[in-house]
Structure 1
Amino acid sequence: MRLAYGLVLPDVQADLDLGAAAAGGISAGASAMYCVGASVGFLVAARVPRTLVVSAAGTAALGAIGVAVSPSAAVFGASAVLASAGAGLASPALVRIVARSVPSQDVPRTQTIVNSGTGPGLVAAGVLALVLLPEWRTAWLVSAACAVVAGVAVLRADHGDTAPEDRATTGPRGKSLPPAPWFRRHAGLLVAALLLGAGSAAVWNLGRAVLVDAGSGRTASVVAWIALGVGGTAVAVTARWLDARPPRTAWTITVVAVALGTAGLGVGAAVLPVALVACAVFGWGYTAATGALVAWTGAIDAEHAPSGTSMVFVTLVLGQAVGAAVAGAVVEQAGAAVTMLGAALVVAAGVPASRVRQDGVP
């Protein structure tokens, strides 16, 4: 839901008289709420992952319903912020559930595939938008129902704590907080995640608005968003290939793709084929990069993978909060091209940041 915000933004802005700066502020608030949810997950995912899944589905559904019935920009913003807590709660819970429900040798690839679920979700959101827009309220009601269905599906797929010994675990049930040296070993990873979040926010929040402003019609701009989702979905196909690479190598490949996609949208928004390719490349790169971050923290310390995932995504989305606010202000003053090119440079800075080495991580 949080990443589909930019898809409906032009129609919401028209209906609720919402400016670009205010829209960026709402996105920043949503990102902050995600961080709150993920921080809770950081503390309790190892003990109560199923409770987190229920909470994630509930907050996402309630927030989406609030968005659908919002009579004003203020109510819309508050509801969008609430809905964003769901994804933050879900991420660490899913890491724990996969780790105890999948044979240990299949955990990395399964985590990557789970992480690529953003792609099909964006494709579905785009198709829904093609059918329903400008009726964006109905789209959010459908999203609320999907959140509930997804939560039930995850609970049914969870094997609980009865998994056999050959399944990966994340350590003792009560041991959720890692030791102090663990945090120091994550320094380079956290800087890299922060930069990815800050730079990617421009596309997530302004991408479709940039396309519309460049002359693309409603249908063409939504199709470009679907292309972004298709790119994210393709991560499931490339998962085995990426998993065979060291974490830093996978990170470098995927971050370069995000930077190229962002820059391509900035300079080629008026040319639909260029915009479609840029969105697809961005979608693949971003989804695969987040998967690389999950693999990276697992390589540092597999025992605390849920805690690592929570911390990584908190940092990533904290970067998005800052990036969304800055991009919303810059685009009004300097235009879309400058905003997107600047965002691409921020993303690219994540490559050298990742060179800070951690013990035992190639």
Structure 2
Amino acid sequence: MFRRLALVAAGTALIAATYGLVRLAFGLHLPDMSADVDFDTATAGMISAAASLVYGGAALLGFALGATRPRLLVVLALLTAGGGAVGIALAPDVVVLAASATVSSAGAGLASPAMVRIVHAAFNGHDSDSAQAIVNAGTGPGLVAAGLIALALTPDWRVAWLIAAVATLGAGLAVLALARPADASTTPARRLPPMPWWRGHRRPVAAAALFGIGAAAVWNYGRVVMVDAGASPSASVLAWVWVGCGGAAVIATAPLTRRTPPGRMWLISTAIAAGGTAALGAFPGEPVAAAAACALFGWGYIAASGALIGWTTRIDADRAAAGTAALFVVFMIGQAVGATAVGATLPVVGPLTTFVAAGALGVLAGLLAPRAHRAPARSVP
């Protein structure tokens, strides 16, 4: 039991580091990085898009190896996320910074499917849903930590990235120490899922793509629109901390959300995230309103990603790692499209129209939730 609890803690820390401190911290540090290294909003959008595509490629690798080589995925995650963070910290120009930011995103794409498999195997399917929800919600505490570090160090963003690298290394080594090789002993009969599995994922794939496009607005440009609207640097960083607090609250609400069918949870969480997105676009210069909007978005975003894991687990529990990787690939491709689109439209139509449109896409994603829910599925033959 102690090893399981320690593994959940280490896994939560790994997700916190690869997502909160690395993958999603680009937008947090964007105002300071762009000022020091000299690049514009459109360039930032292209960097974010490239990072999302690399994340997707890493998650595809997780799709292929999640069931059989989760420990290898953890090693690759700490190398890419940690190494990329060091590269950002030391970047002398925008080319090195862009390349490092792109590579660093791979860590999160590798870590998610690895932890789904490791946790599922460690708990032998018993109470693994709660453990998965806690590990997946690690993004929230990671964002809180990233925001507090930025608040303490701003404008010295380079030290913040070095701290992220050290945290990633420590969390990854802890997971490797606690995850037994036997946790990857069960191998599906077929490496690629059969056609019924793919047909069963058509609706969640479409939903993940739409939500990814809509979520890009807050992640990539939330702090930028606040600063442009007159918010102080400290107020904009605190709003980012509230995103993390909202995400961390998913852990506290896990006893309630785990009893909610994944489809219904998807509908609720995407609606809340969409509302937070629209509200931030409407009130970027109002610190209290912006903080509340960020907290709502944070809870909705993390809860929605957990609902995706639950959704694919309902379709086929034995291929949950593959399903998680596939849906997160689509999700981040959506974010890549969204980052580029928002970066191009924001200077033209402004934050209100852009963020309300992004929120509307989140609502559409939620409406794709299934209307009926089956019991946890057996492996598709």
Counterpart amino acid of 1:255?
T
Structure 2 residue aligned with 1:229, among 244, 248, 260? 244
Superposed CA RMSD in Å reads 1.7
Structure 1 segments, 4+ long, off by >3 Å, are 173-176, 355-362
Distance (Å, rounded) in 2 between the aligned partners of 1:157 and 1:123? 25
Say yes or no: does 1:326 pair with 2:347. no
Mapped contact 2:313–2:376 kept (Cα < 8 A): no
Q: Any gaps of 5 or more consecutive residues in structure 2?
A: 1-21
Aligned residue pairs total: 356
CA change 1:187–1:361 in 2 (3 A) is farther
Distance (Å, rounded) in 2 between the aligned partners of 1:354 and 1:183? 17
Aligned to 2:118: 97
Distance (Å, rounded) in 2 between the aligned partners of 1:230 and 1:198? 23
Secondary structure, aligned partner of 1:329: helix
**CA offset at residue 358 of structure 1?**
8.1
Aligned to 2:30: 9
**CA offset at residue 177 of structure 1?**
2.1
Write out per-residue CA displacement over residues 99-127 of structure 1, whole angstroms, 9 at most, x where no aligned residue: 11124231111111111000000000001
Matches within 5 A, 1:209-224: 209-224=224-239
Mapped contact 1:11–1:134 kept (Cα < 8 A): yes
Distance (Å, rounded) in 2 between the aligned partners of 1:30 and 1:356? 34
Mapped contact 1:266–1:337 kept (Cα < 8 A): yes
Aligned to 2:178: 157
Aligned to 1:206: 221
Distance (Å, rounded) in 1 between the aligned partners of 2:268 and 2:181? 35
Matches within 5 A, 1:23-102: 23-102=44-123
Matches within 5 A, 1:133-152: 133-152=154-173
Structure 2 residue aligned with 1:277, among 292, 297, 308? 292
Identity rate, percent: 47
Secondary structure, aligned partner of 2:99: helix
Distance (Å, rounded) in 2 between the aligned partners of 1:81 and 1:217? 28
Mapped contact 2:264–2:369 kept (Cα < 8 A): no
Structure 2 residue aligned with 1:342, among 349, 354, 357? 357
Write out per-residue CA displacement over residues 222-279 of structure 1, whole angstroms, 9 at most, x where no aligned residue: 0100010000000001112111011111111101110010011011111111111100
Write out per-residue CA displacement over residues 141-190 of structure 1, whole angstroms, 9 at most, x where no aligned residue: 111111101101211231331x6xxxxx8952664421111001001101
Distance (Å, rounded) in 2 between the aligned partners of 1:288 and 1:340? 20
Secondary structure, aligned partner of 2:253: helix
CA change 1:267–1:361 in 2 (3 A) is farther
Say yes or no: does 1:118 pair with 2:118. no
Mapped contact 2:153–2:160 kept (Cα < 8 A): yes
Write out per-residue CA displacement over residues 4-60 of structure 1, whole angstroms, 9 at most, x where no aligned residue: 111000001111111111100000000000001000010011111101100000011
Distance (Å, rounded) in 1 between the aligned partners of 2:57 and 2:164? 22
Secondary structure, aligned partner of 1:270: coil
CA change 1:268–1:209 in 2 (3 A) is same
**CA offset at residue 74 of structure 1?**
1.2
Mapped contact 2:227–2:233 kept (Cα < 8 A): yes
Distance (Å, rounded) in 1 between the aligned partners of 2:227 and 2:49? 22
Aligned to 1:166: none
Q: Any gaps of 5 or more consecutive residues in structure 1?
A: 164-168
Distance (Å, rounded) in 2 between the aligned partners of 1:80 and 1:121? 17
Secondary structure, aligned partner of 1:178: coil
Counterpart amino acid of 1:268?
F
CA change 1:185–1:356 in 2 (3 A) is farther
Structure 1 residue aligned with 2:199, among 171, 181, 184? 184
Distance (Å, rounded) in 2 between the aligned partners of 1:160 and 1:235? 30
Mapped contact 2:223–2:240 kept (Cα < 8 A): yes
Tell me the TM-score normalised to structure 2 length: 0.90
Distance (Å, rounded) in 2 between the aligned partners of 1:295 and 1:156? 27
Secondary structure, aligned partner of 1:215: coil
CA change 1:247–1:76 in 2 (3 A) is same
